[in-house]
A and B are shown apart, each in its own frame.
Chain A
Amino acid sequence: MNGVPDPLLRLEGIARAFPGVLANDDISFSVNEGEIHALLGENGAGKSTLIKIIYGVLRPDAGTMTLRGKPFAPHRPSEARAEGIGMIFQHFSLFEALTVAENIALGISPELARGDLRGRIVEVSTRYGLRLDPDRMVGDLSVGQRQRVEIVRCLLQDPRLIIMDEPTSVLTPQEVETLFETLRRLAGEGCSILYISHKLEEIRALCDHATILRGGKVVATCTPSEETARSLAEMMLGETLSPPATDRRTPGDVRLRLNELSVEADSPFGTDLADIALEVRSGEVVGIAGVAGNGQTLLMSALIGETLAGRPDAIQLNGRPIGRMPPHGRRKAGICFVPEERLGHAAVPDMSLTENVILSARVRKGLSRNSFLNLPRAARYAGDVVARFSVKTAGIDHAARSLSGGNLQKFVVGREIMQEPSVLVASQPTWGVDAGAAAFIQEALIQLARDGAAVLVISQDLDELFAISDRIAVIAAGPPGRRPHARADRPADGWTAARPIGLARGGGARPCLGWSRGASPQGRCRC
């Protein structure tokens, strides 16, 4: 850094404690003008605390920050914004029923919102290749387009530093590419970007420097392009990783068959499912890839039985029609589920772990007799799950809410796997989970398949699907009215995480699992 003018932002000795945990411990690093700087770390490494301090949401207990050489201690986000710091959150704060321009006007200061806002939106969005129609309803936009709204809103405030929190977690590979071009152009114009992610390949492709956090401390700084994804992960975790084993048995009988499954969404904004066809065999892991909003939620709901299929034989379990069975009947027949949302869907936040196993394991584990709960037995089962899946908890009497995301997910996955189902369906099984827990969960899913179960994983994380799946199908929207005509049975072997995107999405292959009606404003599917 010597010989270079003052960095844009410098942190020195930043520390912040919360009751019982030191979230940031003596953190120092700096971000130069025009630099894309990665902040890398597991969940709980202290990334969020740190960016909240920079953005003025939290104040540090110790340490100083300087912005362009001057002391910088924002007390609130508006002060940080006034100094030219912008932030793109992981979860968007947009009103679906308002237009793009209205949403942007609401999110910026009144002075900025005056005058020809529409004109400026168009100008900024074309300049940075973020095509955006100011008059469209946000509710009609894809996730990637919504993110553009957030970015344009941020750019209108002329920022010097943009903080992005996991910006690609919801984007398609093409959208990621567009985003990266925009970010590179911004950096070229001197705007700095603090990029938070745990997607190692992205960081390698995009970032100039990386600061790696673990347990609230800076454990390494590096130039990501000179590292491998593996070495980055090892720095992040502080341990060496072994890749999930890939030797598989040959698939056995068909366990789960989706036979032209069509379901209508029960909400007006939902995506219908049309004629989904898929088979999952004993001993294999089948992945369903696809961008959020293409019917995954409804597919999961139809599989669980929360939404019933039109015909009983649209879903067949070991040859038995279960399409109109309620969830517990399906479980009894041998299929278990891990829904995407841990708190509130897979688990009741304020109930103990013991009570939470009753939720889905009652039928298969005999946790009730004559409709009376067998609490000792439930406690034993909860204890078994905690032990076998190394769930870190103060005890099975504690509320599900008290567990960290990774531990609760291990508990939920364990609760289902230990029922020894013949089919397991998991949606986003490692979403928002730290790398250690994610590896553990993926290993458990593979092991379950190796033991003879059929495993279906719905995920937007392609890296994950390539790591664990034997075959991958894609769920995508098509033009309304068209009939489905394709399914994907492409072996995952030989697909590398770097290459498959073009194959699965752009190429001549026909990877569609089925059309889903209604969504896809751009009709992107290339089946």
Chain B
Amino acid sequence: MLRLEPRREPSRAMQVLTPVFAVILTILAGLVLFAILGKDPFRAIWLIFFQPLTQTYALAELTVKGTPLILIGTGLAMGFRAGVWNIGAEGQFVIGALAGGSVALALHETAGLWVMPLMCIAGMLGGMAWAAVPAFLRTRFNANEILTSLMLVYVAILLLSAMVHGPLRDPEGLNFPESRLFSESMTLPILVEGTRAHLGFIIALVAIGIAWLFLQRHLLGFQIKVQGQAPLAARFAGYSEKRIVWLCLLTSGGLAGLAGTFEAAGPVGQLVPALPIGYGFTAIIVAFLGRLHPFGILLGGLLMALTYIGGEAAQIAMSLPSATTRVFQGMLLFFLLAMDVLVGSRIRWIPRQAAG
């Protein structure tokens, strides 16, 4: 039988390189997959991974899709480092969009530079409030935050749906379940004319920088890392686990909420039931793809955005199934985790008798 034995000191270089290998393996597996489907594998891979990089519009779209992934992934990574598993970023994203969007709709007649920041603050608070529920349940009742945060996703999505079907529905919208379109001062400024690239991407970059500073230099970031790697040592040092749980969930919830507001106030421009398209879940892959490191998450977020855009392009051009994008994202995470296991451990063949 096979047995995994932990390596004494995993190679640093390999830890950095695993995402690269995971991408390569995903591409190779994709080639096989398309060949089996009877499609031209090389053309499909070209369309998914490389063609988007050659067009300005697609590059701009990369930042549009990358922004929420990077923002959410950065927040999640902080929790993952501390062993706080917020799986419900999708729900916090939705509540953020709902809170920020509600502010926009309440103020829809007014204009002014202060409206957008107010929406962002509302969005962050919304996301934080949604994440505070699992934080409270974990610190007070020791309830597993994986389950509670995940279940709240569905509550959030249904809540959004109820709101746009009801109170937030556009009064002039012919009964469609949509809100009013946001006015000029309630949508994010566009960075490049003729594209959808918006200011949110710059803010995501700033968030990356702050997160890096926080994790590498700030005491709280240090506490997060100690808590995740050696909980007993965190107790020895006197770090409060409850405080770290609250901090991680509120930070990741707030960033997810901000991402939700950006999505509503950016590319979508209104509240619709179909707002959540899985960014909150994909960001989990992004966080691990980026090795839970802010700069890695920047690259990981852009790569996942690429699979979204490329996957869509390939679907249209080659009439591929719509599951293509998801399959690729899943394969990427699968290969990444498998590579991680091999970097941390080695496989040894143990003859069957010895195992007994």
Contact = CB atoms under 8 A, between A and B. Distances in A.
Nearest to B220: A371
A327 B236 CA distance: 7
B230 A306 contact: no
B9 A401 contact: yes
Contacts, number: 72
B230 A344 contact: yes
B219 A371 contact: yes
A305 B233 CA distance: 13
A143 to B, nearest CB: 21
Contact of B226 (A75, A77, A351): A351
Contact of A358 (B222, B240, B351, B353): B222
Contacts of B233: 344-348, 359
Contacts of A270: none
Interface string B59-95: 0000000000000000000000000000000000000
A384 interface: no
A306 B356 contact: no
A375 B230 contact: no
B232 A327 contact: no
A78 B219 contact: no
B109 to A, nearest CB: 43
B354 A326 contact: no
B219 A372 contact: yes
A372 B217 contact: yes
A399 interface: yes
A372 B226 contact: no
Contact of B217 (A327, A348, A375, A399): A375
B238 A326 contact: yes
Contacts of A368: 219
Classify chain B's interface size.
Answer: 20 to 34
B225 interface: yes
B3 interface: no
Contacts of B230: 344-345, 347-349
Contacts of A360: 236-237
A327 B222 CA distance: 17
A346 B234 CA distance: 9
Main secondary structure of the interface of A (DSSP, over half): mixed
Interface in B207-253: 217-220, 222, 225-226, 229-230, 232-233, 235-238, 240
Interface in B316-356: 351, 353-354, 356
Contacts of B237: 327-328, 359-360, 362
Nearest to A350: B229
A359 B238 CA distance: 9
Interface in A52-108: 75-78
A328 B235 CA distance: 10
A466 interface: no
B353 A304 contact: no
B219 A373 contact: yes
B226 A359 contact: yes
Interface string A336-360: 0101010011111111000100111
Contacts of A126: none
A237 to B, nearest CB: 27
Given A76-B354, A371-B219, A351 B225 contact: yes
Interface in A83-138: none
A399 B229 CA distance: 12
A402 interface: yes
Contacts of A346: 233, 236
Interface string A216-227: 000000000000
B236 A339 contact: yes
A247 to B, nearest CB: 34
Contacts of B220: 371
Contacts of B236: 304, 306, 327, 337, 339, 345-346, 359-360
A341 B232 contact: yes
A78 B354 contact: yes
B340 to A, nearest CB: 14
Nearest to A19: B8
Contacts of A345: 230, 232-233, 236
A348 B229 contact: yes
A363 B295 CA distance: 30
A77 to B, nearest CB: 8
Contacts of B238: 305, 326-329, 331
Contacts of B226: 348, 351, 359
B239 to A, nearest CB: 9
Given A327-B237, A341-B232, A402 B356 contact: no
A94 B353 CA distance: 22
Contacts of B217: 372-373, 375
B323 to A, nearest CB: 38
Nearest to A375: B217
Nearest to A57: B354
Contacts of B356: 78
Given A76-B353, A341-B232, A349-B229, A399 B9 contact: yes
B9 A372 contact: no
Given A75-B354, A348-B225, A362-B237, 19 more contacts: A76-B351, A306-B236, A326-B240, A327-B238, A328-B237, A337-B236, A345-B236, A347-B233, A348-B233, A349-B229, A359-B236, A359-B237, A362-B219, A371-B220, A372-B217, A372-B219, A375-B217, A401-B9, A402-B9
6 contacts: A75-B354, A78-B354, A337-B236, A344-B230, A346-B233, A359-B233
